[in-house]
Amino acid sequence: MRSDVEYSPVGEGLGMRDFWLYVWLRRVAVIATHVTGLGLTLVLSLLSRPGTSLFSWHPMCMSVAYCLCMTEGILLFSAEGSPFCFKSWKSKVRLHWFCQALVLITAATGLWFIVASRNVSELPHLASWHSLLGMCTLSATVLQTACGIAVIFPKLLRLSCPSSRLKLYHATCGLVVYLFSTVTVMSAMFTDWFQATVKGVAWWAFLILPLFPALVVMSQITNAYLPRKKLTS
């Protein structure tokens, strides 16, 4: 069935000079997002001092899952600033699946460590906004994985939905998951652990920093799937 929605290519309607400036700015933004995701992961891992307690593994695992693996898994499909921009689409899909598998594994590991830590300390579970947001993010991640499986194996699952629509659902769900994870990471800055570790201007910098990758990812997904106009029959 022919879709009645056409999706707009990046930069349409811009003059050549403006277009190249737009592409250059996007390339800089994507490269900065790579650096930001990796930097947040490294700093949060160092601040948590893995191995000093059961809890210390939780921030490291979750930052690796969402700040690094999920970010890189999405930026794989960026035409600007991705180290895999010259790879075939099939290779990018395989790498995307690998990154998302790492997200599930490291997030599940981080969940296990925080549950074990609170059990040992005899503390209640889901007692803060951060923990509630974290559970929403994990639940959305599992749902997103199911959407991804539906995109790859529609015939096996006997789905009647068109492939283009499944991909749209998958991308939309992925954006929701990423925004959930961004809010969850930001809420971690309000926990007793982080506020006791980081103070002053540095705390504000860590609070704002996760917003930058979220804006770049949101721009990438909406540019790829934003409806442009109705096609005439």
pLDDT digits (tens, 9 = 90+) for 119-151: 999 999 999 999 999 999 999 999 999 989 988
CA-based nearest residue to 65, from 30, 36, 98, 105: 105
The predicted model scores a pTM of: 0.85
The pLDDT of residue 59: 96
Contacts of 54 (CB under 8 A, 6+ apart): 113, 116, 117, 120
Mean pLDDT within 158-181: 88
CB atoms within 10 A of CB 68: 22
Question: Mean pLDDT, the chain, as a whole number?
Answer: 86
Strand partners, 65: none
The two three-digit tokens of residue 42, written as one number? 């490294």
39 close to 30: Cβ distance less than 8 angstroms:
no
Confidence of residue 233 (pLDDT cuts 50, 70, 90): very low
203 close to 189: Cβ distance less than 8 angstroms:
yes
Angle at 148 between CA 142 and CA 152, to 5 degrees: 145
CA-based nearest residue to 225, from 5, 19, 31, 3: 5
Longest dimension (CA), the chain: 65
